[in-house]
Amino acid sequence: MSNHIEYVFYVFGWLLITGVVYIYGHWMAKRHWKRTPWRAAPKLTAGFAMVSLLLLGVGEGYIHYMEQHEHREYEENAKQVAAMVAGDLAAMGHERLDEHADRLPAYDEIIAALERWQSRGRVLSMYTMKKNKNGQLYFVVAPPTDYNRNGRIDGEKEQAVPPGTIYRHDVPEIDKAFRGHFAMQPRPTTDEWGRSISAFMPVRRADGTVDAVVGIDYDATIYEHRLQKERQKAIGMMMAVYFITAAIYLLALHQQMERKAFAAYKKRLAANEHRLRRLAEMTMEGIIVYANGRIIEVNEAACRLLGYAESELIHLPIDELIVHGSIKFSQPHEERERLEMDLRRKDGTVFPAEIVRRRYDYEGENVTVAAVRDLTEQKQKEQRIRYIANHDELTGLPNKEAMYKTVERCLAEAKRNGQEAAIIFFEVSGIKTINDFYGYAVGDEVLLYLARVWKEKAGMIIGRWSGNEFLAVVPDSTLEKAEEMAKQLVEEADEPITVNGIELYITVNAGISIYPKDGEEAKTLIRKADIARYEVRKKAVSDFVFFTEPMANRLHENMAMERDLRRALERDEFELYYQPQIRLHDRSVIGMEALIRWRHPEKGMIPPSLFIPLAEQTGMIIPINEWVMRTACRQTKQLLSQFPHLSVSVNLSPYEFESRRFVDKLARLLDEIGLPPHHLDLEITERMTMDTERALDILPKLKALGVTISMDDFGTGYSSLSYLTDLPIDRLKIDRSFVQHIQGKKDVILPAIIRLGHNIGVKVLAEGVETETEAAYLQGKRCDEAQGYYFSPPLPYEELVRFLTEQHARRQAQELT
Q: Look at residue 334 in the predicted model and tell me its pLDDT.
A: 46
Answer whether the bond into residue 516 is a cis peptide, omega within 30°.
Answer: yes
Q: In what order do the strands lie in the sheet with 294-298?
A: 294-298, 286-291, 365-374, 350-362, 336-344, 328-329
User: Helices (DSSP H) in 495-620: which residue ranges?
Assistant: 522-536, 549-568, 608-618
Q: Look at residue 1 in the predicted model and tell me its pLDDT.
A: 41
Quick count: other Cβ atoms within 10 Å of Cβ 64?
A: 15
Instruction: Round to whole Å and give the CA distance between 544 and 598.
Output: 34
Q: Look at residue 746 in the predicted model and tell me its pLDDT.
A: 53
> Which stretches in the chain have pLDDT values below 70?
1-4, 30-40, 121, 146-152, 154-157, 191-194, 265, 269, 271-284, 328-336, 362-364, 538, 540, 551-560, 691-692, 715-723, 743-747, 815, 817
SS3 701: helix
CA distances from 637 to 556, 633, 720 (A): 41, 6, 36
Question: Which residues have a Cβ under 8 Å from the Cβ of 351 and sit 6 or more positions away?
Answer: 342, 343, 345, 374, 375, 376
* Model pLDDT for residues 193-216, shown as the tens digit of each residue: 667 888 999 999 888 899 899 998
Q: Look at residue 683 in the predicted model and tell me its pLDDT.
A: 92
- Helix (H), strand (E), coil (C) string for 236-251: HHHHHHHHHHHHHHHH
CB 510 within 8 A of CB 469: no
Q: Look at residue 672 in the predicted model and tell me its pLDDT.
A: 93
Whole-model pTM: value is 0.45
Q: Quick one: how far is CA 703 from the chain centroid? A: 50
Instruction: Round to whole Å and give the CA distance between 24 and 17.
Output: 10
Pairing type for strands 286-291 and 365-374 reads antiparallel
Q: Look at residue 455 in the predicted model and tell me its pLDDT.
A: 81
Instruction: Round to whole Å and give the CA distance between 676 and 647.
Output: 10
- Cβ-in-10-Å burial (0-12, 13-18, 19+) of 86 comes to buried
| 595-648-700 Cα angle (round to 5) | 110
Question: Which residues have a Cβ under 8 Å from the Cβ of 84 and sit 6 or more positions away?
Answer: none
Q: Look at residue 522 in the predicted model and tell me its pLDDT.
A: 86
Instruction: Round to whole Å and give the CA distance between 532 and 545.
Output: 6
First to last CA, the chain: 137
The sign of the CA dihedral 719, 724, 729, 730 is positive
Instruction: Round to whole Å and give the CA distance between 355 and 290.
Output: 13
- Find the farthest-apart pair of alpha carbons in the chain and give their distance in angstroms, rounded: 179
